[in-house]
Amino acid sequence: MKILTSILFVITATVLFQSCADEEIKSDAFGNFEATETIVSAETSGKLLSLNVEEGMNLEEGVQVGFIDTMQLYLKKKQIYSQKKVTGTKFGNINSQAEVYREQIRTALIEKNRIENLLKDNAASQKQLDDINGTINTLQKQVEMVLTQNNTARSELGNFDIQVQQIDDQIEKSIIKNPVRGTVLMKLAEPGEIVNFGKQLYKIADLSNMNLRVFVSGDQLPEIKIGQRVKVLIDKGKDGYRELEGTISWISSKSEFTPKIIQTKEERVNLVYAVKIKVVNDGTLKIGMPGEVIFK
């Protein structure tokens, strides 16, 4: 009797174990969570006077988080204004010089009129008339030549204005503004450091939406499409899974060799396609965290 009972127990346990194995969740693809990271860099060179960011801090888009010293830019701007003022005084000198030539032209015209009257009475020669006409032409060309200096001065003033705009742009870029809403992942600079253009200051990412990057085989590819809702699984304790809803947001148009850390549902294949699944993060998802997906 005891032997019979033992046999029945073993058979029952085997059936239950097989039933549990059949109900085991079988995922279609495996991967890791990632987020779009943005590296914020210095847009000007100088001493970093302030950088109010810390790792784990949540920042809104457009908020000012620091600034770089702008004293040298300010002094350069003052120098340009001084040069612009000096150039502006040239207009008065040029106009005065032109007016002197105009006065000489008026006097020459009076003399020309007198010579023409004398010529009618044969009291003057044609050479006198030709000479006065030559003098008038020369004076008119001198007026034109002087006035061209005004154009040169205007061009110089325009260049000064452009230089001021460039400096204003550099001053504006010396104010460090956070470009995207997200969480600071890494701080890469400290106040007091001398930074150059392109120096990385901190790294930030929007963790409110995460991407599960998985790889699928060519056989699985026809089963999925962009916008498709799928089931995402993450570890819950040692033996359980937690289910989340995801949406396929991107499918690679080119195949690639299977990454060593990724395993597909079937045996490993040579070529797979990368797929990104967008998942709303409730705070539990972390960058690099493993995940699984069931397409159907």
pLDDT-derived band at 86 (thresholds 50, 70, 90) equals: confident
223 DSSP 8-state letter: G
Residues 141, 228: one domain?
A: no
Contact predicate 205/185, CB 8 Å: yes
pLDDT at residue 201, rounded to an integer:
97
Q: Cα(242)–Cα(291) distance, rounded to whole angstroms?
A: 10
Q: Cα(176)–Cα(204) distance, rounded to whole angstroms?
A: 14
pLDDT-derived band at 91 (thresholds 50, 70, 90) equals: low
Residues 61, 85: one domain?
A: no
pLDDT-derived band at 102 (thresholds 50, 70, 90) equals: confident
Contact predicate 87/153, CB 8 Å: yes
The domain tally of the chain equals 3
Q: Is residue 47 part of a domain?
A: yes
pLDDT at residue 296, rounded to an integer:
78
Q: Is residue 130 part of a domain?
A: yes
Mean pLDDT calculated for residue range 264-279: 74
Residues 31, 43: one domain?
A: no
Half-sphere exposure of 39 (CA within 13 A, CB side): 8
Residues 214-255: tens digit of each pLDDT: 999 888 888 899 999 999 999 887 778 899 999 999 999 888
pLDDT at residue 70, rounded to an integer:
93
CATH number for the domain harbouring residue 184: 2.40.50.100
Q: Is residue 5 part of a domain?
A: no
* pTM summary value: 0.66
Mean pLDDT calculated for residue range 59-71: 96
- Computed over its alpha carbons, how large is the radius of gyration of the chain? 41
pLDDT-derived band at 270 (thresholds 50, 70, 90) equals: low
Q: Cα(206)–Cα(279) distance, rounded to whole angstroms?
A: 12
pLDDT at residue 6, rounded to an integer:
40
Tell me: pLDDT of 260 over 60.
no
Residues 211, 186: one domain?
A: no
Residue whose tokens read 């590296």: 39
User: Which structural domain, as residue segments, surrounds residue 99?
Assistant: 71-173
Residues 217, 75: one domain?
A: no
Residues 245, 200: one domain?
A: no
Q: Is residue 9 part of a domain?
A: no
- Mean pLDDT across the chain, nearest whole number? 84
Contact predicate 248/228, CB 8 Å: yes
Start-to-end CA span in the chain (Å): 48
Residues 118-150: tens digit of each pLDDT: 878 787 788 888 888 888 888 888 877 777 777
Mean pLDDT calculated for residue range 264-283: 78
Residues 270, 224: one domain?
A: yes
H or E element in which residue 141 lies: helix 126-173
Mean pLDDT calculated for residue range 39-60: 96
- Token output for 178: 């956070």
Tell me: pLDDT of 8 over 90.
no
pLDDT-derived band at 92 (thresholds 50, 70, 90) equals: low
Share of residues in the chain with pLDDT > 70 (%)? 85
Mean pLDDT calculated for residue range 152-156: 77
Tell me: pLDDT of 185 over 80.
yes
